[in-house]
């Protein structure tokens, strides 16, 4: 298993709540995981913040977790618009995140929530 160093913020990804998520698509309300993320030097996306009561927090994600993949697709080379596209979706649908935390890789299922 590859060890990832403590991530350093290279470029802060704006809160997905502020990244144009919301609205509707084909009559469905669009939401997301409610987490602020940053690119990590070691690869992946570092969780900067998980607002209390938000989808990421409820699923168990924590500050400094590093997201390695979204629904099985590595985020290492994924451009920002594609990351947003993968994390947002119909409210109530879920997204699977592979996360590196304290030397272990864990899988989390996050149910998307509407943005307030």
Q: What is the 3-state secondary structure (H, E, C) of the chain?
A: CCCCCCCCEEEEECCHHHCCCCCEECCEEEEECCCEEEEECCCCEEEEECCCCCHHHHHCCCCCCEEEEECCEECCCCCHHHHHHHHCEECCCEEEEEEEECCEEEEEEEECEECC
Asked if residue 33 belongs to a domain, the reply is yes
Domain that holds residue 29: 9-114
Asked if residue 3 belongs to a domain, the reply is no
Asked if residue 15 belongs to a domain, the reply is yes
Rounded to two decimals, the pTM is: 0.77
Asked if residue 52 belongs to a domain, the reply is yes
Asked if residue 1 belongs to a domain, the reply is no
What is the pLDDT tens value at each position of the chain, 116 positions in all? Answer: 444 443 333 333 333 433 344 454 566 799 999 999 998 887 899 999 999 999 999 999 999 999 999 999 999 989 989 999 999 999 999 999 999 999 999 999 999 999 87
Asked if residue 109 belongs to a domain, the reply is yes
**CATH code of 90's domain:** 2.30.42.10
Half-sphere exposure (Cβ direction) of 46: Cα atoms closer than 13 Å: 19
Domains identified in the chain, total number: 1
State residue 25 phi and psi, 5-degree precision. -140, 115
Asked if residue 90 belongs to a domain, the reply is yes
**Residue of 28, 24, 37 whose CA lies nearest to 63:** 37
Asked if residue 4 belongs to a domain, the reply is no
């Amino acid at each position: 298993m590859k060890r990832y160093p403590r991530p350093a913020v290279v470029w802060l990804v704006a809160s997905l709540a502020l990244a144009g998520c919301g609205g509707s698509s084909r009559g469905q309300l669009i939401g997301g995981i409610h987490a602020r993320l940053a690119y990590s030097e070691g690869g992946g996306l570092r969780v900067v913040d998980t607002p209390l009561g938000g989808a990421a927090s409820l699923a168990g994600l924590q500050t400094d977790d590093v997201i390695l993949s979204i629904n099985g697709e590595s985020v290492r080379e994924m451009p920002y618009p594609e990351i947003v596209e993968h994390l947002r979706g119909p409210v109530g649908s879920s997204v699977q995140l592979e996360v590196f935390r304290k030397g272990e890789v864990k899988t989390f299922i996050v149910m998307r929530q509407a943005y307030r």
